[in-house]
Amino acid sequence: MKIYSSNLWTILAFALVVFSCTDPAEVTPELEDKKDDKDQAEVAIPLRELFKDYFLIGAAVTPQQTDLGTAHGQALKTHYASLTAENVMKPDALQRVKGQFTWDNADRIVQFAKNNNMKVRGHTLTWHSQSPDWMFYDENGDLHTPEVAMKQLEEHITTVVSRYKGDVYAWDVVNEAMFDWDPNGQIIYREDSPWYKIMGPAYIDSAFVYARRADPDAKLFYNDYNSIFSWKRNKIYDLVKRLKDNGIPIDGIGLQGHWSVNTTESDLRTTLNLFRELGVELHITELDIPVYASNDEPGSTEYNSTFSFRQKVAYSMIFNVLLDYSDIITNVTFWGIGDDHTWLDKPGRKAFPFLLDEELKPKPVYFEVQKLVQKR
Ligand code: G3I
Dump pLDDT digits (tens) for 300-324: 999 999 999 999 999 999 999 999 9
CA of 182 to the centre of ligand 1 (A): 26
Band (295; pLDDT cuts 50, 70, 90): confident
Residue 69 has pLDDT above 80, yes or no: yes
Question: Residue 4's pLDDT is what?
Answer: 35
- For residue 327, what pLDDT band results from cuts at 50, 70 and 90? very high
Residues annotated as part of the active site: 286
Is the C-beta atom of 4 inside 6 A of ligand 1?
A: no
- Which amino acid, one-letter code, is at 122? G
Rounded average pLDDT over 198-204: 98
pLDDT of residue 33 exceeding 90, the answer is: no
Question: Would you tell me which CATH number, out of the four given (3.90.1150.10, 3.30.1330.10, 3.30.70.20, 3.20.20.80), belongs to the domain 28-374?
Answer: 3.20.20.80
Q: How confident is the model at residue 118 (pLDDT cuts 50, 70, 90)?
A: very high
Given a cut of 80, whether residue 27 has pLDDT beyond it is no
Average pLDDT of the segment spanning 208-234: 97
How far apart CA 75 and CA 338 sit, in angstroms, is: 9
Q: How confident is the model at residue 19 (pLDDT cuts 50, 70, 90)?
A: very low
* 87 CB within 6 A, ligand 1: yes
288: confidence class by pLDDT, cuts 50, 70, 90 = very high
**Relative to the CA of 175, which ligand 1 atom is closest?**
38
Report the separation in Å between the CA atom of 64 and the middle of ligand 1, taken as the mean of its atom positions. Answer: 15
Question: Is residue 16 predicted with pLDDT exceeding 50?
Answer: no
Per the model's pLDDT, the better-predicted residue between 357 and 26 turns out to be: 357
The answer to whether the CB of 130 is under 6 A from ligand 1 is yes
Closest ligand 1 atom, CA of 123?
37
- Using pLDDT thresholds of 50, 70 and 90, give the confidence band for residue 1: very low
Whether 28 has a pLDDT exceeding 60, the answer reads no
Q: From atom 2 of ligand 1, which residue's Cα is the shortest distance away?
A: 87
pLDDT tops 70 at residue 232: yes
Question: Lowest-confidence range among 12-16, 40-44, 171-175, 188-192?
Answer: 12-16
Using the 8-state DSSP alphabet, how is residue 189 labeled? B
Contact (Cβ atoms closer than 8 angstroms) between residue 345 and residue 354: no
What does pTM read for this prediction? 0.91
The answer to whether 353 and 300 have CB atoms below 8 angstroms apart is no
Measured over the CA atoms of residue 312, residue 10, residue 339 and residue 23, the dihedral's sign is: negative
Give me the percent of the chain exceeding a pLDDT of 70.
89
Q: How far is ligand 1, taken at its centre, from the CA of residue 87, in Å?
A: 6
Q: How far is the CA of 1 from the centre of ligand 1 (A)?
A: 13
Pocket test of ligand 1: the residue of 343, 345, 346 to mutate, having most ligand atoms within 8 Å of its CB, is 343
39 ligand 1 Cβ < 6 A = no
Can you give the pLDDT at residue 25? 39
- Specify the residue with its C-alpha closest to ligand 1, atom 13: 87
Contact partners, residue 181, CB within 8 Å, separation at least 6: 9, 12, 13, 16, 231
pLDDT, position 40: 54
Mutate which of 62, 86, 222 for ligand 1 pocket (most atoms within 8 A of beta carbon): 86
pLDDT in tens, 242-275: 999 999 999 999 999 999 999 999 999 999 999 9
Find the mean pLDDT for residues 130-138.
Answer: 98
pLDDT at 22: 35
- Residues 6 or more apart whose CB falls under 8 angstroms from that of 180 comprise 9, 10, 13, 190, 225, 226, 232
- 26-35, 47-56, 289-298: least confident range: 26-35
Q: Which of 16-20, 93-97, 130-134, 336-340 has the lowest mean pLDDT?
A: 16-20
CB of 343 within 6 A of ligand 1: the answer is yes
Task: Name the residue at shortest CA distance from atom 38 of ligand 1.
Answer: 175
* 3-class SS of residue 288: strand
CA of 336, closest atom in ligand 1 = 32
Q: How many residues does the chain have?
A: 376
